[in-house]
Every structure is written in structure tokens, then in C-alpha cells.
A and B are shown apart, each in its own frame.
Chain A
Amino acid sequence: MKITTEQKRRALVVRIDGELDLHTSPILQERVAAAFTEYPNLRALVVVLSNVTFIDSSGLGALLACYRDLSALGKRFVLANPQAAVRRVLQMSGILNQIDVVDSEAQAVLRL
């Protein structure tokens, strides 16, 4: 799994390339936590899922943990552009009742 980050309009955009599972999910959580610690003025996190080819409950757990940690700090959290298989897992988990999902990174950034 490869993670790249970029700041846009006081949002941290995290692009994930690969699979989110028990092994890789903690890396995502660490990267997000480190970025928000280093840049406390960030107001939102956008996780771009377009190149995520696999997700399971460990990956979902990491996304939920990021969402909860940021919500506690009053920051927003948006998921962008999940592929069909990933979207189906997100839907089944019920996570979409809590977290906003949009169709593209650009749309996510515009919303913030």
C-alpha cells in the first residue's frame, strides 16, 4: 500500500493506493494522526479511495477511528470515490450512515 498526502484548502487529502487490511490499516491511522498533530490548523480529512482495490473490517475500523478522532477535534472527514467492491463493503458495514462519501476528490475539497 502506498499513501500520498497533500494539503488543499486547509484539508489534508490522503490518497491510498492498494489494499486496506489488518497489516496496512495501522499505517493509515499513523499517517493521519501524525499529519493532524504536525498541522493542527487542518480542518478536514479527505481520504481518496479510487485506487483502493480491497478493504475489509480492519480497513473500515481504521477509517472509523480516523473519523472519530477528528470529529472529537471538531474536524470534518470525507471519503472520495470508492470503487464498486469497496463501496459495497462500506454500505454493508453501516459506516455510510456516519461518514460522507462523494464521487471525486475535487467534489470533496469543494464541500469543505
Chain B
Amino acid sequence: MNRNGPVDNRMTLSFVSKPENVAFARAVVAMFASQLDFTIDEIDEIKVAVSEAVSNAIIHGYEDQPGEVRVEAILSNGRIEVIVHDSGKGIADVAWATEPTHTSRPDERMGLGLVFIREYMDEMRVDSAPNQGTTVHMTKAPRSATARAH
């Protein structure tokens, strides 16, 4: 997910880790993403992915205690990169936590959230360490742009 070209636009949003702010975060990112040629379905997919990453930060990162969630979105090379960061408790074993067989249990909120991010975005990466917070990186390009490139 290295940026290979100039950044066309960028925004950063920072807010308290309250459930009330999940809708706010996904709405802001969706409006920002609409600068690219995404379909309504693709915008809906971005909203789900942002909602999942921010919800995970609130529930698992901060375990419902007050903290700060930062959402950054970058438009470059015809795609959006969304970075959701918390400074919470972190994940000891990222590979295990994000493994599809572990995360696809429908009764496990965090796992299902990662399944949605993986399905709805083109790329996803989770960086985390115990007591150092978690950062979820995800990117998506409009399918129309992907089709033109091939």
C-alpha cells in the first residue's frame, strides 16, 4: 500500500471513541470518497468497512473506555486509502486475529468486521502490537477505473 504518486486530496478526522461517532466517521469518509467515480454500491461498501474498523477501535482497542480514534483518508492514483488508528491495547498476534478461518465466525464481532473489510475493500492490512494501538489500512479503487486499467 505504498503511495506511488502524488496525493490528490487528504483529510484527517479525530474523535473520542464513542459509539455515537461511528456513523459520523463513515458518513465523512463516504462523502470524501465520492470525489472519485465510485458507484453507490461501492460507497456503501466503504461505509461498512469504515464502520467496522472504527467499531473495532472503540470496542477492542479501547474496550469501551475513552480514547482517541483517528481516521485519515487519502485520494491518490484514482483510489482511496483509509487509515483507522487507535492508541488502545493493541493485538498480540495480528496474523491469528486476522486469519479468515478465525475471523469468519458469525458470532464474533471483530472477526466478522474484518471479513467485511476484506470483502468490500481491495486491500487491507492491520498493524498492531500490545499496548501500542492498532492501525487498519485499507484501499479501494472504483471498479470502473479497475476495468479501464485492464
Cα A61 to Cα B105 with chains together (Å): 11
A42 at the B interface (CB under 8 A): no
Q: Which of A22, A64, A92, A95 contacts B115 (CB 8 A)?
A: A92
Q: Is the CB of A21 within 8 A of B23?
A: yes
Query: Main SS of chain B's interface residues?
Result: helix
Docked Cα-Cα span, A92 to B59, in Å, equals 22
Which A residue's beta carbon lies closest to that of B50? A56
B99 at the interface (CB under 8 A from A): no
Contact: A22 with B55, CB < 8 Å? yes
The B-contacting residues of A in range 45-59, CB under 8 angstroms, are 54, 56-58
A19 within 8 A of B: yes
A94 interface contact, C-beta 8 A: yes
Q: Mark B50-94, 1 if CB is under 8 A from A, else 0.
A: 011001001100000000000000000000000000000000000
A22:B58 contact, CB within 8 angstroms? yes
Determine if B44 and A85 form an interchain contact, defined as CB atoms under 8 angstroms apart: yes
Nearest-CB residue, chain B, relative to A18: B23
The interface size of chain A toward B, counting residues with CB under 8 Å, comes to 17
A19 to B18, CA, bound (A): 16
Interface: A112 (CB within 8 A): no
A63–chain B nearest beta-carbon distance, Å:
11
Q: Give 20 new A-B contacts, CB below 8 A, not counting A56-B116, A85-B44, A89-B48.
A: A21-B19, A22-B22, A22-B51, A23-B22, A54-B23, A54-B26, A54-B48, A56-B48, A56-B51, A56-B113, A57-B55, A57-B113, A58-B51, A60-B106, A64-B106, A64-B107, A92-B115, A92-B116, A93-B106, A93-B112
